[in-house]
Structures are given as C-alpha cells and as structure tokens.
Amino acid sequence: MDLGSDIYRQQILDHYRNPRNHGSLEEPTFTHEGENTMCGDLIEMDVELDDDDVITSVAFRGDGCAISQASASMLTERLIGMSLEEVDALDRDDMIDMLGVEISPMRVKCAVLAEKVVQDGADIHRGKIDLDRTNLDDS
Amino acid sequence: MGVTGSALLDVDRIRRDFPVLERRLGDDRPLVYLDNSATSLTPSPVVDAMATYYNEYNANVHRGLHQLSQEASIAYEDAHDAVAEFIGADGREEVIFTKNTTESLNLVAYSWGLEHLGPGDEVVITEMEHHAALVTWQQIARRTGATLRYIGLTDDGRLDMSSASERIGDDTAVVSAVHVSNTLGTVNPVDDLVDMAHEHDAIAVIDGAQAVPMRPVDVGSMDADFYAFSGHKMLGPTGIGVLYGKEELLQRLEPFLYGGSMIEKVTFDESRWNELPWKFEAGTPPIAEGIGLHRAVDYLESIGMDRIQRHEEALVSYALERFDALDDVEVYGPRDPATRGGLLAFNLETVHPHDLAQVMNDFAVAIRAGDHCTQPLHDRLDITASARASFYVYNQPSDIDVLIDGIDAARELFIA
C-alpha cells in the first residue's frame, strides 16, 4: 500500500534494518551515549580520531525508533573523514536533509539524537564540557 | 471470531452525535479514534450546551444580580448537583470543580497532605499510579518528611493484595490508588483498599480518571474519602475536573487556592471561607465547562453506565481475541475482560511504538504511543514505551479490525 506519511522511505528502512557501522570499536578515542528519555531512544557511539583530530572510524549501537536508529547509521557513514570542527558545524537541518523526509515536530528529537551524541562526545573529549550522558529531554 | 451483539451499544446512532468521526484523513480513510484514554471525543449536545451558555446567558456566576448572571449561576450550581448524583455523592457540597484530575489530586495533597503529614507518616500508593498521583505524593512526601511506599504488582498486572496488606499499616496516613490503570487497564479492588486504609485510620484517595467514563461508580458505597476524575475523558470539555470529598473532611480542610468567590467575609486582617463547595473554587470557575460536563453526564446516563461497561468489555474481549492470534504482540495487563477497563497497551516485537503509531496514522487510526504518564510502571515492565488503543461508546469491532491491519502493515514495513 501507499503510506501517506512517506516518512519511512526505502533508504531509512534500509538503514534501520541493516545499520551501517553497527557495533563497537576496539580502541575508540572517545565513547559517548545519549537518550531521549521520553521516547526511549538510545544511541552509544565510539569515535576514533587521527593525530589531526579527523575521524577515521565510527561505530554505534542503540535501541529505539526507526528514525533514531536510521539517522545514526546514516550519520556514521558521513562522519568518517570529518574534522571535529566539521562535526561542530552539523545541525538539525543537516540531519533532516540527510534523512530526506519531512520530520514532524514530535519526531525531531529522534532525528537529531545521534548528532548531539557525537557533538557532546567531541566536546567532552576536548574538555569543553563536563557531561555524563546526553539527554535531549533535559534541555 | 465475533462479538456478541447484545453487549454492544447502538454505535451507528451514537456516532451521529460526533461530527469529528466524519473526518477522513490521509489517503481518504475514515478516522478511527482509539485514543480515548487520553481524551474522549465531544458529542454535539455537549458542544451545543456550551454554545447556548455563550450565546444566550454568558455571565459570571455567584455575584451578579442581573438576570444573565442568575441564569448562569443556577446552571453552574445544577451541574454540581448532576455530577453528585452521577457518582453517588450526598450533594453539591461534596463536588468541587477543578481543572482536571491532576489538579484534584494536587488539591488533596497540598491541602490535606501538608497539614497532616510529617516524619513517621507513610503515604501508600501503587506501582501503577499515573504521574498525576505519583509525582504529587512524591513531592509532598519530600516536603513533609513522610515516607512513600508502593503496593507491588502481580505478574499479570494486578495489584498484589498481600503486598497491600504489608504496606498499609499503623503508620499509614494516606492510601492513594488508581481505580482503573491507564496502562494495564486493571480495575483495582478499590473497595478493599478503602477498607484497609480505614482500618488503620488512614484516608483513601482514588484516581478515577479512567473509571468514571467507563463504568458505574458510587463513591458513597465505596466509602472513598476523596475521588478525582476529569470531564474531558467522559465526553465533556477540557478544562474541568472533579474532586469528590466527604463533606465532614472538606469542612475541616484548608483551601488550596485563595481569592475571589471562595470567601465569605474579608477584612484587611483576615478572611472567612465561603460554604462548600465554593470554598475550594477560587476565582471565576469553568462555567461553560461545568455546563458542558452536566450535559455529558446526562448523555452518559441516557445510554446507561452499565451498558457502557458491557460495551467496553465486549470490545476489549474482541481485541484480546484478535491480538492473541498474533505471535509477535505482547499485551500488558490482566487477561480477563471483566477485570479490565476498555484499553489495551501493547508492543509489536522489534517495532518501536512511535513507529507503529506513525504507520497507524497512515490508516487514519489514532492511538497513543509513549509512556502514558506511567514511567515507573514501564520501568517495572522493563520497557521504555508502549502503544495503547482505548475504546469508547462510538467504537465498533471494525475499528479493531483496522487496528490489526495497521499492525500487519507495520510488521511488513519494518521486519520485511
């Protein structure tokens, strides 16, 4: 059948069913996790950097809705080769563009969780912030 | 598979009173509204009664000498009488109009709790409480130094009454329990809980938000000290809730909100309170909403609460039958339709409830997905969220068939 909301495009379903870079890294430079308490979305991400602070590999694991998990999978593909400054510059619109579907206000938190996790993890790594765990429902 | 026809209401006739059910959504599909535990739809007679107030006798109550104010006052006071009769209270003195169930429970917790609770006192609630009661008692206990204790659950989602016997004791000052769980659907043995509270000189506070819309409730025979519910879940408007309280308790109780209307005499130094129930209704009250709630009560009574309960049981019974045929769906709460209200929380294996609700939306099916304001209960069930379908007087077995179609479509989409 034709699903009206069109939110679950083939690309999203593909990343949800077969997540890329799923699992963990042996020697990550940093690891960080975050959640949407209200939704129950959880993302934990391992990031490995080279000497110039450029991302060489990423892995994630998590649990939650298709939007949160597919967006994490898609983001990991994009992160490889990025500098931390480029990671800093990622925003909500980048995530929504990447997903390529309309995201209702209720689901935006699902779409941006992975981005916030890698950004907070990078900030903690560089000593910019002190945070145990990202929680989008606290903000 | 089928539903015993005699138990069901004349849904076709009832549906004509709910214009919103004529809406078609998405791909031109008729709305299937299964989010009644969140809020019920509003029938035309209720909307009309409120419009009549605004169009014909729009005025403030209690203080005007002009005719419109007198008409509005009488209508607003009559609404208290109608609600009192509907729930078996002794009279309008025992029926306070609030904003919603949450405010009703806060009124008890602040007015009674802050005055009576202290270190050494125990507040006993259940693991299936809605946040409206749970968070409120948690905070009042913290402020007063009282201890909060929880009655545990059985594996099939009923209250563990041996746990209740252990928790309710001589130090118990309040037993606060939900009548029908908004997540498990469980109908709790509130009569027994009230008796247990009274045996230990504690007061019993019952959250009836999901019970009053669905089944006959008699606060008198239950002997509850306080009983809270909302207008908008029983075909009434939003913005009005009810707190029933025993008159002798309300007489002694300090007001929760201060201001106009709730006073009898004010000087620069002190104030005397108005008579019941107005002592607890400070400021301009929800007049149109009170009038709307009165009409909703009349509407429910014209159907009959016994018949509504049987209708809910028939729909839940049919839904359980359809769900049981699905291997990958877990339904929470008791299995016996006679011991549960007209709602089902469930999860489809490997599909997050938010994704499920989104796919349902494509079928024009409105269900709830999330924690239903019972996060600790979800922790107890070891899940983060669930989907919930809840039924009311205008729902029919075919609505459940569409729900099942939606589940099948979600399965195909995500697990293919």
pLDDT, one tens digit per residue, over B159-179 is 999 999 999 999 999 999 999
Alpha helices in B57-130 (DSSP H): 67-87, 101-107, 114-116
Q: Are residues B160 and B269 in the same domain?
A: yes
Q: Are residues B81 and B15 in the same domain?
A: no
- The Cα-based distances of A25 to A31, A62, A86 in angstroms read 9, 14, 21
Q: What is the pLDDT of residues B281-328, one digit of tens each?
A: 999 999 999 999 999 999 999 999 999 999 999 999 999 999 999 999
The CATH number given to whatever domain includes residue B380 is 3.90.1150.10
Q: Are residues B260 and B358 in the same domain?
A: no
Q: Are β-strands B386-390 and B343-348 bridged in parallel, bridged antiparallel, or unpaired?
A: antiparallel
* Mean pLDDT value across residues B88-102: 98
- Which residue, of B254, B277, B302, is where some domain finishes? B302
Please state, in angstroms and rounded to a whole number, the distance separating the CA atoms of residues B337 and A114.
Answer: 42
> Which residue among A3, A13, A64 sits closest to B352, beta carbon to beta carbon?
A64
Q: What is the pLDDT of residues B31-77, one digit of tens each?
A: 999 999 999 999 999 999 999 999 999 999 987 789 999 999 999 99
> Which residue among B352, B362, B370 sits closest to A66, beta carbon to beta carbon?
B352
The CATH number given to whatever domain includes residue B128 is 3.40.640.10
Query: Hey, what amino acid is at A93?
Result: D
Q: Which of B105, B49, B399 is nearest to B245 (CA)?
A: B105
Tell me how many helices (H) and strands (E) chain B has.
Answer: 15, 17
Own/partner contacts of B160-164, CB < 8 Å, gap of 24 or more, are: B161/B189, B161/B192, B164/B124, B164/B192, B164/B193, B164/B196
Please state, in angstroms and rounded to a whole number, the distance separating the CA atoms of residues B139 and B281.
Answer: 23
B35 a catalytic residue = no
* A39 contact residues in B (CB cutoff 8 A): 352, 354, 370, 384-385
Please state, in angstroms and rounded to a whole number, the distance separating the CA atoms of residues B6 and B148.
Answer: 45
Please state, in angstroms and rounded to a whole number, the distance separating the CA atoms of residues A13 and B79.
Answer: 53
* A2 contact residues in B (CB cutoff 8 A): 27
Q: What is the pLDDT of residues B182-218, one digit of tens each?
A: 999 999 999 999 999 999 999 999 999 999 999 999 9
Q: Are residues B279 and B190 in the same domain?
A: yes
Alpha helices in B304-394 (DSSP H): 305-324, 353-362, 375-380
- Which residue, of B254, B269, B302, is where some domain finishes? B302
Supply the mean pLDDT for chain B.
Answer: 95
Res B172: pLDDT: 98
Alpha helices in chain A (DSSP H): 10-17, 66-79, 84-89, 92-99, 108-125
- Joined together, the tokens standing for residue B355 give 């994704």
B/e letters for B347-356, b = 16+ CB within 10 Å, e = fewer, are bbeebbbbbb
CB count in 10 Å sphere of residue A82:
17
- For residue B95, what are the β-bridge partners? B244
Residue keyed to tokens 């029983």:
B234
ipTM rounded to 2 decimals: 0.81
In a domain, B108, yes or no: yes
- Joined together, the tokens standing for residue B309 give 């309960």
Is A40 within 8 Å of B352 when comparing Cβ atoms? yes
Q: What is the pLDDT of residues B4-29, one digit of tens each?
A: 567 999 999 999 999 999 999 988 99
Q: Are residues B294 and B322 in the same domain?
A: no
Is A110 within 8 Å of B354 when comparing Cβ atoms? yes
Is B414 within 8 Å of A13 when comparing Cβ atoms? yes
Asked if A22 and A61 count as a contact pair (C-beta separation under 8 A), the reply is yes
Q: Are residues B294 and B310 in the same domain?
A: no
Rounded to a whole number of angstroms, the distance from the CA of B31 to the nearest CA of chain A is 14
In a domain, B38, yes or no: no
Supply the mean pLDDT for chain A.
Answer: 91
Please state, in angstroms and rounded to a whole number, the distance separating the CA atoms of residues B23 and B45.
Answer: 19
Cα angle B221, B158, B399 (rounded to 5 degrees) comes to: 90
- Joined together, the tokens standing for residue A17 give 């069913």
- Which residue, of B257, B285, B302, is where some domain finishes? B302
> Which residue among B361, B384, B413 sits closest to A40, beta carbon to beta carbon?
B384
Number of domains in chain B: 2
For chain B, give the number of residues. Answer: 416
Q: What are phi and psi of B277, to 5 degrees?
A: -90, 0
Res B346: pLDDT: 97
Domain that holds residue B117: 47-302
Is B413 within 8 Å of A1 when comparing Cβ atoms? no
Res A129: pLDDT: 92
Asked if B121 and B137 count as a contact pair (C-beta separation under 8 A), the reply is no
Is the pLDDT confidence value at B410 over 70?
A: yes
Quick one: fold of A10-128? Sufe protein. Chain: A (3.90.1010)
User: Three-state SS for B1?
Assistant: coil
- Tell me which of B90 and A41 has the higher pLDDT: B90
Q: Are residues B257 and B194 in the same domain?
A: yes
User: Three-state SS for A72?
Assistant: helix
Please state, in angstroms and rounded to a whole number, the distance separating the CA atoms of residues B145 and B154.
Answer: 29
Rounded to a whole number of angstroms, the distance from the CA of A95 to the nearest CA of chain B is 18
Q: Which residues contact B196 (CB under 8 A, 6 or more apart)?
A: B164, B165, B168, B175
In a domain, B41, yes or no: no
Alpha helices in B257-304 (DSSP H): 287-303
- Joined together, the tokens standing for residue B228 give 């809270």
Is the pLDDT confidence value at B1 over 50?
A: no
Q: Are residues B175 and B260 in the same domain?
A: yes
B/e letters for A86-107, b = 16+ CB within 10 Å, e = fewer, are ebeebeeeebbebbeeebeeeb
Please state, in angstroms and rounded to a whole number, the distance separating the CA atoms of residues B313 and B413.
Answer: 32
Cis omega before residue B277 (within 30°)?
yes
Q: Are residues B229 and B318 in the same domain?
A: no
The alpha carbon of B356 is separated from its chain's Cα centroid by a whole number of angstroms, namely 25
- Joined together, the tokens standing for residue B377 give 């209960």
Alpha helices in B3-158 (DSSP H): 11-15, 44-56, 67-87, 101-107, 114-116, 131-144
Asked if A58 and A45 count as a contact pair (C-beta separation under 8 A), the reply is yes
User: Pick the catalytic residue: B373, B383, B402, B409?
Assistant: B373
Question: Which 332-391 residues of chain B touch chain A by CB within 8 A?
Answer: 352, 354-355, 358-359, 361-362, 370-371, 383-385
- The Cα-based distances of A89 to A73, B287, B363 in angstroms read 19, 53, 39
| Element of type H or E holding B407 | helix B397-415
Name the pLDDT band for A5 (thresholds 50, 70, 90): low
In a domain, B104, yes or no: yes
* B406 contact residues in A (CB cutoff 8 A): none
Please state, in angstroms and rounded to a whole number, the distance separating the CA atoms of residues B331 and B276.
Answer: 44
Q: What are phi and psi of B30, to 5 degrees?
A: -70, 140
How many CB contacts within 8 angstroms connect chain A with chain B? 53
- Residue in B31, B349, B358 to test binding to A, most A beta-carbons within 10 Å: B358
Q: What are phi and psi of B206, to 5 degrees?
A: -120, 130
The DSSP symbol for B143 reads H
Q: Which of B197, B186, B183, B185 is nearest to B125 (CA)?
A: B197
Res B295: pLDDT: 98
Q: What are phi and psi of B79, to 5 degrees?
A: -60, -40
Q: Are residues B200 and B329 in the same domain?
A: no
Q: What is the pLDDT of residues A74-120, one digit of tens each?
A: 999 999 999 999 999 999 999 999 999 888 888 899 999 999 999 99
Q: Are residues B17 and B61 in the same domain?
A: no
